[in-house]
Structure 1
């Protein structure tokens, strides 16, 4: 007869959002495949059994981390789309993005760009998750520009889908440059040039 006594559930000794933020930073710095379980658990301050019990496997942890990233980082740039004109919305989006990409409070660049653009076949799901996140932001931008077109706030015949893609491509290109060391000033100077080529504000 076993002498073991039943174990009872104990409250977690860590805050999920805090350790999730730490995991997000590891994925952000090293990408999905470059982030080892040892690096993740060391940064999170928990052991592997706790990781598995709370977040599931590595892919499930990444999904949670990426969702958290959208809540805290991408949402800020997308909030810029609430500006009253298409020009102001694009400018606010690009400038907010440039600020975020070079913020010293977290790794440079963008998790959705450098987290897993190139993954081995067994991790193709990660690339799909990141692509879906970028597509969601582009869709939000396109919807905002479509409303602007309906309101007469864009030149006649403007291809809003192509315009949204152009703005996203610029922002994503900035992410690559930021990860390589480009400064906030470098990116903002690029935004200055892009804005001249985009939409002239009313009255200009």
Structure 2
């Protein structure tokens, strides 16, 4: 009897957890945290609620896992941009990446990290706070990179790295919102190019 009780623990889940999580990303991306019901999520993931809870936790935990996957996938352009050689190249890669990620064929438009939980009720506050921290972390990373650029003489000494980081994030977030509203890639690329024309000279 003891062995019979333990046997189910070693059984395979019967579904591809990575594929299921990828599908959850798309549901949250398209419908937002509150708009994505458990039924929407489990139907898209091809699993039962019991399997979802066992593999990913509750809805908020699933959302956090989905955001991590989104960060490593469609939003990975942000981390790559920080590795560019100059501040201008960082900004260019960041905004161009925002345009591409927000208008990716076969994916929802916009950005999961921007519109996933901007306006939510009490049940969605955890998700809203998670996304707020996610965006703040991106600003912080950009600020540190631009401070490095100031220290190295790549940006003028009177540059405010924090303000420059916030400016870039604001334009990037705006691109995502415009994409979600139907703006096309070419138009948004022109917006990115225009923003970069205001970049401070070295």
Normalising by structure 1, what TM-score?
Answer: 0.93
The yes-or-no answer on 1:59 pairing with 2:60 is yes
**Aligned residue number for residue 112 of structure 1:** 113
Distance in 1 (CA, whole Å) between partners of 2:123 and 2:102 is: 29
Partner of 2:166: helix, strand, or coil? helix
Partner of 2:110: helix, strand, or coil? coil
The yes-or-no answer on 1:153 pairing with 2:151 is no
Distance in 2 (CA, whole Å) between partners of 1:160 and 1:66 is: 27
Distance in 2 (CA, whole Å) between partners of 1:98 and 1:78 is: 15
Distance in 2 (CA, whole Å) between partners of 1:123 and 1:93 is: 28
Distance in 2 (CA, whole Å) between partners of 1:57 and 1:82 is: 35
8 Å CA contact retained: 2:77, 2:93: no
Partner of 1:153: helix, strand, or coil? coil
Distance in 1 (CA, whole Å) between partners of 2:79 and 2:102 is: 14
Mapping 1:76-95, distance limit 5 Å: 76-95=77-96
Query: 1:171: how far off?
Result: 0.2
Distance in 1 (CA, whole Å) between partners of 2:123 and 2:29 is: 20
Residue range with higher mean Cα deviation, 118-127 or 172-181: 118-127
Query: 1:7: how far off?
Result: 6.5
Normalising by structure 2, what TM-score?
Answer: 0.94
Structure 1: 4+ residue segments shifted above 6 A: none
**Aligned residue number for residue 140 of structure 1:** 141
RMSD: 1.4
Distance in 1 (CA, whole Å) between partners of 2:80 and 2:69 is: 16
Distance in 2 (CA, whole Å) between partners of 1:89 and 1:77 is: 9
Structure 1: tracts of 5 or more residues without a match: none
**Aligned residue number for residue 176 of structure 2:** 175
Distance in 2 (CA, whole Å) between partners of 1:118 and 1:193 is: 29
Query: 1:188: how far off?
Result: 0.7
Write out per-residue CA displacement over residues 115-145 of structure 1, whole angstroms, 9 at most, x where no aligned residue. Answer: 1011102321111000111111111111110
The yes-or-no answer on 1:32 pairing with 2:30 is no
Query: 1:78: how far off?
Result: 2.2
Distance in 1 (CA, whole Å) between partners of 2:18 and 2:187 is: 33
**Aligned residue number for residue 42 of structure 2:** 41
State the aligned residue count. 198
